[in-house]
Amino acid sequence: MLEVKDLNVYYGAIHALKGVNFEVKQGEIVSLIGANGAGKTTTLHSLSSLLKPKSGSIRFLDRDITGLQPEKIVKAGLVQVPEGRRVFANLTVRDNLILGAFTRTDAAGIAADLEKVYARFPRLKERSRQVSGTLSGGEQQMLAIGRALMARPQLLLLDEPSMGLAPLLVREIFSIIAEINRDGTTILLVEQNAHMALGISHRAYVLETGKFVLSGPSKELAASPEVRKAYLGG
Amino acid sequence: MRILKNFSFLLAVSAVLFGVIEALIILGIVDDYSLQIICAAGINIMVALSLNLISGFTGQLALGHAGFLAMGAYSTGILLLAQVPFPLAILLGALLTALLGFLIGFPALRLRGDYLAIVTLGVGEIIRVLIINLGGLTGGSAGLRNIPGYAQNIMVNNPAAFLWIFPAVAIALALVANLIQSSQGRVLVSIREDEVASQAMGVNIFGMKLMSFTVSAFIAGLAGALYAPFIGYLAPGGFDFLRSVFFVIIVVLGGMGSLTGTILSGLGLTFLQEALRTNAKDWSQAVAGLFGSPTGGTLDLVPMSQVLFGLVLVLLMIFRPEGLLGSYEFRMTKLLRRGQK
């Protein structure tokens, strides 16, 4: 579904991604794990074209999307939930969700999807007229995910969904992610919380300073001594 | 439906208000001087509405709207002097300003953050300096004189100007209000709230910003176009940076993101500025008297209005940073709903 070949990204003189190769297959949850500054968010931003890669290619659904405008990438079905939730704080929950469907024009489909999101996140329905800046962190994360679902993604990119959330909420968010995946959306997950990420994903890649150092089925990685030592606390 | 209701309400209120003021003019209760200030307030409100669209709702600070006002005013003034028919000259003035806005916005809006503020500030000054230096076309620093007015007879120019300016303010308000309440408006607010998230939702933020900025320039240009035949004489000094700041003050005082606030503060500040100007001489004599100056009246207090506006802004930022009305809007539908309860 998604194929990334030899991706090189620079921030000025800093070589942030050094020839990255990976793929995501239809129906999978794939996680990218790694420490701060490894290049996880850079990878996602390159996929969404928020950053322009210097070289390399990104193919999505058998189509080259390298360097395409961000709005066209969303239209193609590759939608990102940005890091730190980034809800539109002064707009209501409902307006946030409707903005998620910005690229779509089918009013009936949008209304149906809005109900689906409300069914998946009942708390958002309760608060649909509330200004989203007043939601708790967990609710905002749900809103950010719900907003991305409104674009009907084929592939959902999640950037650090656990950031700043209480452990109980993290568990809740991750079970929702697994549910979304079971309902047919492929997911690429970027996480620092390697334990949770390896727990729900099928496969994983380990990033270290701009390069993939390990990859494989999540279960195997979770058991491997290097990963245990570096990311899972021994 | 909600938009339609608000729109028809706006139309009705405008029509009633228009009728009332017209009646007062005919009865002689609103004299020519007050009418002149009402018209000036209308011009200021239009520019402030346009500024609120780009700065208050879209979140892109612009500091050169006096430049757009000048562009509209001079274009129309020059066209009128060249015997171009009246409505065409007004329309062309607004369209040329929109084109200018588009051309400035194209490079400037690609950048994030406060670049637009810097670019618009620069462009506003460039326009003013160009006006001074293109003497053959604009009259240079001596100004553009004898612009044909709304009426042949100069004595009835103000009532004739009012017939144009009031509907234009209503149209500008309806245009901005409808834009804000449409789905496009929600997208503009999403850009103000968070550009990255908006982009991640598939919004072409550059295109939307450019649309907002061009519409803003169009309305400011229309205000300028209406200003030229109203005032009859244009000088570059009236379109300096302080004028741009005055529009920012109107918007900030009324509330970034409140059209109701812009209208109220536009009216209030125009009248306040006029009061300060006309009474400044009396005050300066009083102050000079206090300090025992035998001549009296040597102190120039006209610049005091700037000091006062500055003080108002400082106090506002301390006590009510969201502006007097914040993002509150007066809506008839809200009132009706409350009535039904």
The enclosing domain of A78 has a CATH number of 3.40.50.300
Query: What is the predicted pLDDT for the residue at A205?
Result: 94
Q: Could you give the CA distance from residue B123 to residue B309 in angstroms, rounded to a whole number?
A: 24
Tens-place pLDDT, residues B250-286: 999 999 989 999 999 999 999 988 887 777 666 666 6
Question: For residue A6, which phi and psi values (nearest 5 degrees)?
Answer: 50, 50
| Helix (H), strand (E) at residue A30 | strand A29-34
Domain-located, residue B44: yes
pLDDT above 90 as % of chain B = 54
Contact criterion met (CB below 8 Å) for B332 and B9: yes
**Quick check: B4 pLDDT over 70?**
no
- Contact list, B203 vs chain A (CB under 8 Å): 71, 99, 102
How many domains, chain A? 1
| Mean pLDDT, chain A, whole residue set | 91
Spatial neighbors of B323 by CB under 8 A, at least 6 apart, are B251, B252, B253, B254, B255, B256, B258, B261, B265, B316
How many domains, chain B? 1
Domain-located, residue A42: yes
What is the CA angle A27-A29-A30, rounded to 5?
Answer: 125
Contact criterion met (CB below 8 Å) for B80 and B224: no
Domain-located, residue B72: yes
- State the residue range of the domain holding A10: 2-86+151-231
Q: Nearest residue of A to residue B193 by CA position?
A: A88
A8 DSSP β-pair partners: A18, A55
Task: Work out the number of other CB atoms within 10 angstroms of the CB of residue B314.
Answer: 10
Domain-located, residue A118: no
Q: What is the mean pLDDT of residues B321-337?
A: 74
Residue B335 pLDDT grade (very low, low, confident, very high; cuts 50, 70, 90): low
In this complex, which of B187, B189, B196 lies closest to A50 when CB atoms are compared? B196
Tell me whether residues A99 and B194 touch, CB distance under 8 A.
no
- Contact list, B198 vs chain A (CB under 8 Å): 88, 99
**Quick check: B293 pLDDT over 60?**
no
Residue B328 pLDDT grade (very low, low, confident, very high; cuts 50, 70, 90): confident
Tens-place pLDDT, residues A17-47: 999 999 999 999 999 998 888 899 999 999 9
pTM exceeds 0.90 for this model: no
Tens-place pLDDT, residues A83-105: 888 999 989 999 999 999 988 88
Q: Could you give the CA distance from residue A47 to residue A77 in angstroms, rounded to a whole number?
A: 12
Q: Could you give the CA distance from residue B256 to residue B267 in angstroms, rounded to a whole number?
A: 16
Residue of higher predicted confidence among A16 and B292: A16
Domain-located, residue A132: no
Bridging pattern class, strands A55-60 and A203-208: unpaired
CA atoms lying within 13 Å on the CB side of residue A145: 30
Query: Among A62-71, B21-30, B236-245, where is mean pLDDT lowest?
Result: B21-30
- State the residue range of the domain holding B146: 2-241
Residue A70, token pair as written in the block: 């961000």
Q: Could you give the CA distance from residue A9 to residue B77 in angstroms, rounded to a whole number?
A: 53
| Mean pLDDT, chain B, whole residue set | 87
Residue B296 pLDDT grade (very low, low, confident, very high; cuts 50, 70, 90): very low
Tell me whether residues A102 and B202 touch, CB distance under 8 A.
yes
Nearest by Cα to B303 from B323, B289, B283 = B283
Q: What is the mean pLDDT of residues B318-334?
A: 78
Query: What is the predicted pLDDT for the residue at A11?
Result: 92
Residue B11, token pair as written in the block: 């139309």
- Contact list, A103 vs chain B (CB under 8 Å): 201-202
- Contact list, A95 vs chain B (CB under 8 Å): 186
List Cα–Cα distances, B159 to B23, B128, B156, in angstroms: 11, 30, 6
Q: Could you give the CA distance from residue B328 to residue B99 in angstroms, rounded to a whole number?
A: 32
Q: What is the ipTM of this complex?
A: 0.74
Domain-located, residue B246: no
CA atoms lying within 13 Å on the CB side of residue B308: 12
Query: What is the predicted pLDDT for the residue at B339?
Result: 58
Contact criterion met (CB below 8 Å) for B139 and B12: no
Q: What is the mean pLDDT of residues B311-317?
A: 86
| CA of residue A198 relative to chain centroid, distance | 15
Q: Could you give the CA distance from residue B46 to residue B65 in angstroms, rounded to a whole number?
A: 11
Q: Could you give the CA distance from residue B11 to residue B17 in angstroms, rounded to a whole number?
A: 10
Domain-located, residue B321: no
In this complex, which of A50, A95, A98 lies closest to B199 when CB atoms are compared? A50
What is the CA angle B40-B105-A81, rounded to 5?
Answer: 115
Task: Work out the number of other CB atoms within 10 angstroms of the CB of residue A23.
Answer: 15
Domain-located, residue A76: yes
Domain-located, residue A115: no
CB-based contact, A154 to chain B, within 8 Å: no
A3 DSSP β-pair partners: A23, A59
Q: What is the mean pLDDT of residues A61-80?
A: 92
Bridging pattern class, strands A2-11 and A55-60: antiparallel
Tell me whether residues A79 and B197 touch, CB distance under 8 A.
no
Tens-place pLDDT, residues B198-235: 988 888 999 999 999 999 999 999 999 999 999 999 99
Bridging pattern class, strands A14-24 and A211-217: unpaired
Tens-place pLDDT, residues B156-183: 899 999 999 999 999 999 999 989 988 8
List Cα–Cα distances, B6 to A56, A230, B10, B177, B334, in angstroms: 52, 61, 6, 9, 10
Burial of A225 (0-12, 13-18, 19+ CB in 10 A): exposed
Tell me whether residues B204 and A69 touch, CB distance under 8 A.
yes
DSSP-derived 3-state class of residue A23:
strand
Which residue type does A159 have?
D
Residue B50 pLDDT grade (very low, low, confident, very high; cuts 50, 70, 90): very high
- Mutate which of B194, B201, B337 to test chain A, going by most A C-beta atoms within 10 A? B201
Tell me whether residues B201 and A69 touch, CB distance under 8 A.
no
Spatial neighbors of B140 by CB under 8 A, at least 6 apart, are B131, B132, B133, B134, B236
DSSP structure string for A34-64: E-TTSSHHHHHHHHTTSS--SEEEEEESSSB
Residue A182 pLDDT grade (very low, low, confident, very high; cuts 50, 70, 90): very high
